[in-house]
Amino acid sequence: MLYQLYETHRSLMEPFAEFAQAASKFYNNPLSPLSQTPMAQRVSATYDLLYRLGKDYEKPQFGIDTVDVDGVSVAIHERVEVDKPFCELRRFKRFSDDPATLAKLKGQPVVLIVAPLSGHYATLLRDTVRSMLRGHKVYITDWKNARTVPLTEGAFHLDDYVNYVEDFIRHLQDRYGNCHVVSVCQPTVPVLAAIALMASRGEKTPLSMTMMGGPIDARKSPTAVNNLAMNKSREWFENNVIYRVPDNFPGAGRRVYPGFMQHTGFVAMNPDRHAKSHYDYFKDLIKGDDASAESHRKFYDEYNAVLDMDADYYLETIRTVFQEFSLVNGSWEVLNPQGQPELVRPQDITTTALLTVEGELDDISGAGQTAAAHALCTGIPKADQQHLEVKGAGHYGIFSGRRWRETVYPQVRDFILAHAGKQAAAEDEPARKTAARPKAAPSAKRTPAKRGNRRAPSAG
């Protein structure tokens, strides 16, 4: 019922938001007689703020058209390479007509970025993607809004998440020989599980895995987010945050944790900071500080865009990661696509290098939670393990912003390059045992590459 009430309220607010936008433009238009009044700028700013507070925020675009590679502008073509019911594997293909740049791009490592499925869209990692495109062939998991997935596609479980990651890794291995994996926040747990399961079966595993700000062991330095998950029962979450998608969406009837409830929780963590940010935006509009106002818009266009999560996946994540600590306790069994349980054994990983990254001031994944992966991955040689603590960085600072670009990315880049050489040696070994590999989930399907007018050779 709450979801239906929210949608009714949103629909009623939509015309008022559009009116506020039009009124703001009217008072700000130099050709309008009302724009000449002393209060015009203040009235326009008020209406603009009302519009921003009342509008509906759709999924943002990555919007990465070009990147600079050693002074050369490289064109980016974004496309979906693998389409699954709950996720798209999105590729950022690079093009250049400069021969030296093209040769350089072709030899760069392949990276799979596994984005969080925890409320926001994968575009939250736009800065991560943009930086890595300078030195890597980049793919990212773009998780779908569960309210857009019809019930005929079935439910989505944490096991399915793990199986998806395995399929995406295999896809890149089939295409390039091998790849590197970078996981940010929530996916560190299922990514570690996926690679561990592949290792246990004797499959080829990625050359490296970089885990950033994730709850590998949520018992360490628990944050307010962790405490909520730990102190409430599964029944509490099911009764208080799970609702069915209304009839006006393709996923009508699906049980989800609605995005609007997640957004309320995000804001409730720091209400004073958000209130001040909106008030500063109002003052910037009055002063005519267009640069600061646009910076505010870009941040909240991303922050306010949220997606629904399938209820089964959400509830299982709460139980597995934050209540039973199944990964660190060695008791986590994942169902493969054939429905057979397989025990997650991180100690079986031997040929995948491990880098963990934590922010000193992270208030979502506390100190030590991500570094706990090293104690689990005892089969990885110490020389292939590395940990980075980013001084002065909060949760978002380790994958976005100045600290990410100047401190974290260079070390992630160097770590990947240091282990990229393993691929050539691995390619000389006999092919892995295909009999041990489980077949892809029936729902998995590949879409033909969308080809546009190619004005320059492709490098990947």
The confidence score (pLDDT) of residue 124 equals 93
Could you tell me which residues come within 8 angstroms of residue 286 by beta carbon, excluding any fewer than 6 positions away? 41, 42, 45
Closest CA to 112 of 84, 143, 137, 81: 137
- The DSSP bridge partners found for residue 69 are 72
Q: Is the pLDDT of residue 440 over 80?
A: no
Q: What does the pLDDT average to over 443-447?
A: 38
Residue with tokens 């050369």: 72
Task: Determine the pLDDT at residue 452.
Answer: 38
29-84, pLDDT tens digit by residue?
Answer: 888 887 777 788 899 999 999 989 888 888 999 999 999 999 999 999 999 999 99
What separation in angstroms does the CA of 352 have from each of 29, 111, 251, 411, 419? Answer: 59, 14, 38, 17, 9
Three-class SS state of 405: helix
User: How many angstroms separate the Cα of 297 from the Cα of each of 15, 190, 294, 303, 310?
Assistant: 20, 33, 5, 10, 29
pLDDT in tens, 189-228: 999 999 999 999 999 999 999 999 999 999 998 888 888 8
Q: What is the mean pLDDT of residues 274-287?
A: 91
CA distance 384 to 377: 11
Mean pLDDT over residues 123-147, rounded?
A: 96
**Mean pLDDT, rounded, of the chain:** 89
Second CATH level (architecture) for the domain 68-237+309-446: 3-Layer(aba) Sandwich (3.40)
Structure tokens given for 401: 């912003």
CA distance linking residue 33 with residue 28, whole number of Å: 10
Q: Are 331 and 363 in contact (CB under 8 A)?
A: no
Q: Is the pLDDT of residue 399 over 70?
A: yes
Question: Could you tell me the maximum CA-CA distance found in the chain, to the nearest angstrom?
Answer: 79
Q: Which residue has the higher pLDDT, 26 or 159?
A: 159
pLDDT (0 to 100) of residue 459: 66
Q: List the chain domain ranges.
A: 2-56+259-303, 68-237+309-446
Separation CA 99–CA 105 (nearest Å): 10
Nearest to 92 by CA among 113, 73, 72, 107: 113
